[in-house]
Amino acid sequence: MSKPKFVYVTYIRATPEKVWEALTKADLTEKYWFGYRVSAEGKPGDYMTAVSPAGRQAHHDPILESDPPRRLVYAWKPLYKDIPQEPPSRVIFELEPAKGQTRLIVTHDEFDEGSKIFEMISKGWPAVLSSLKSFIETGRGLEPSWTEEESKRAVQA
């Protein structure tokens, strides 16, 4: 088993049910995931899909585990143009109730040895998770904070 590349943790003032909804419903992700419509409501064997703000498909990845509202696992293979061809990696969301808040742990692992995609996305998760927290707690997501190059990629995706 390879070591996870990233482990991100954030505490959100909401129930795991509410955080789960925000992670899996496209109408909600659109408001904080920088315009991306990410849908992951299905069962294992169904697909997580993500559509970029420009309306292009950015992900079509199998859901590997789904245990609402505690654990969600899907494969991760961006479909952007000009992205290196690599086998899919894996994203794990764990939601734990913690003193009236939800402790959300995002682990991204199973990257290929020497993965380029890993370097490209390393800034993405902290931005998405901060925006998710802000969206759930205040009703508003954050402005995209990634670089121009990354936004260009998102538009071209």
Partner 1 sequence: MDAVFRALADASRRELLDRLRAENGQTLSDLCTRLDMTRQAVSKHLAILEEANLVATVRRGREKLHYLNPVPIHEIGERWIGKFERSRLQALSDMKKILEARDE
Q: Which residues bind partner 1 (CB under 8 A)?
A: 1, 3-11, 105, 107, 126-127, 129-130, 133-134, 142-143, 145, 147-148
- The number of C-alpha atoms within 13 Å of 102 and in the hemisphere containing its C-beta is 26
CB of residue 93 vs partner 1: minimum separation in angstroms?
14
CB 124, CB 58: distance < 8 Å: no
Q: How far apart are CA 61 and CA 78, in angstroms?
A: 9
CB of residue 10 vs partner 1: minimum separation in angstroms?
5
CB of residue 78 vs partner 1: minimum separation in angstroms?
21
Q: What are phi and psi of 110, to 5 degrees?
A: 60, 35
CB of residue 48 vs partner 1: minimum separation in angstroms?
22
CB of residue 119 vs partner 1: minimum separation in angstroms?
12
Nearer to partner 1, 145 or 156 (CB): 145
Nearer to partner 1, 2 or 57 (CB): 2
Bridge partners, 9 (sequence order):
105
DSSP line for 47-70? EEEEE-TTS-EEEEEEEEEEETTT
Nearer to partner 1, 147 or 156 (CB): 147
Nearer to partner 1, 10 or 49 (CB): 10
Nearer to partner 1, 72 or 92 (CB): 92
Q: Dihedral through CA 25, CA 26, CA 30, CA 34, nearest 10? A: 90
Residue written as tokens 């299905």? 42
